[in-house]
A and B are shown apart, each in its own frame.
Chain A
Amino acid sequence: QKEVEQNSGPLSVPEGAIASLNCTYSDRGSQSFFWYRQYSGKSPELIMSIYSNGDKEDGRFTAQLNKASQYVSLLIRDSQPSDSATYLCAAYTGGGNKLTFGTGTQLKVEL
């Protein structure tokens, strides 16, 4: 069983809408969580990190963490076509300085 699960998508949203990307994890010891954006043919780019329960906002991005439900989400407000990419969720369990990645959700923002 994959330790970090994401729906592969594609998730299609119209331009200007809110895109909601979700991630669940199985290891209750996971301490911190990260969202990466990966454009086709490019490398993953870190866009958000969250370490405690609640919301963290950065521009149009909001990361939400609920450790009781083992759930992490990324909201993208005012979605733009340039947001079309695959979004990878990653969890850090504190052992060996390693991250565990989900397989990613493909987001398509349509004009």
Chain B
Amino acid sequence: NAGVTQTPKFQVLKTGQSMTLQCAQDMNHNSMYWYRQDPGMGLRLIYYSASEGTTDKGEVPNGYNVSRLNKREFSLRLESAAPSQTSVYFCASSELPNEQYFGPGTRLTVT
């Protein structure tokens, strides 16, 4: 039982490049989330999916898109990366009532 997995672990992009962060969970959870974590800012919600087939914006959605591919997988896409998107990205999943379990994270640097 791997829990929540994320790929890649590290990534360096040039400004304007695109990439997709992958997330999968094997806990049969309905809800999945994407956060970014920056020093002094804490965890900020980018997008979430309360259940398969639904996605909603969080606190900081600009510059990102998501896809809930199926119950297990939730991907985050950066269409045109900017230096302001340099961050650590965490995926999480939960059943209820909102005990979220986090993946190991992706460290993204945009130059």
Q: How far is the CB of A88 from chain B (nearest CB, A)?
A: 7
Residues of B within 8 Å of A, CB-based: how many?
24
Query: Which residues on the B side are within 8 Å of A88 (C-beta)?
Result: 42-43
- A6 nearest CB neighbor, chain B only: B42
Known interface pairs A51-B97, A92-B98; A97-B50 also in contact (CB < 8 Å): yes
Q: Which of B45, B50, B96, B102 contacts A44 (CB 8 A)?
A: B102
* Residue A75 lies at the interface, judged by CB distance under 8 Å to chain B: no
Q: How far is the CB of B8 from chain A (nearest CB, A)?
A: 15
Q: How far is the CB of A73 from chain B (nearest CB, A)?
A: 18
* Residue B61 lies at the interface, judged by CB distance under 8 Å to chain A: no
Q: Which of A58-93 contact B (CB under 8 A)?
A: 88, 90, 92
A-B contact count (CB 8 A): 55
- B96 nearest CB neighbor, chain A only: A97
Query: Which residues on the B side are within 8 Å of A46 (C-beta)?
Result: 99-101
Q: Mark A82-110, 1 if CB is under 8 A from B, else 0.
A: 00000010101000111101111000000
Q: Which of B96-111 contact A (CB under 8 A)?
A: 96-105
The answer for the CA separation of A99 and B97 in the assembled complex, in Å, is 10
Q: Is the CB of A103 within 8 A of B97?
A: no
* Residue A28 lies at the interface, judged by CB distance under 8 Å to chain B: no
Q: Which of B22-71 contact A (CB under 8 A)?
A: 31, 33, 40-45, 48, 50, 56, 58
* Residue B86 lies at the interface, judged by CB distance under 8 Å to chain A: no
Q: How far is the CB of A38 from chain B (nearest CB, A)?
A: 9
Q: How far is the CB of A4 from chain B (nearest CB, A)?
A: 8
The answer for the CA separation of A42 and B9 in the assembled complex, in Å, is 11
Chain A to chain B contacts (Cβ below 8 Å), 16 pairs: A8-B40, A34-B99, A43-B90, A44-B43, A46-B99, A51-B97, A88-B42, A97-B31, A97-B50, A97-B96, A97-B98, A98-B98, A99-B100, A101-B42, A101-B44, A103-B41
A contacts, CB < 8 Å to B: 2, 8, 31-32, 34, 36, 42-46, 49, 51, 88, 90, 92, 96-99, 101-104
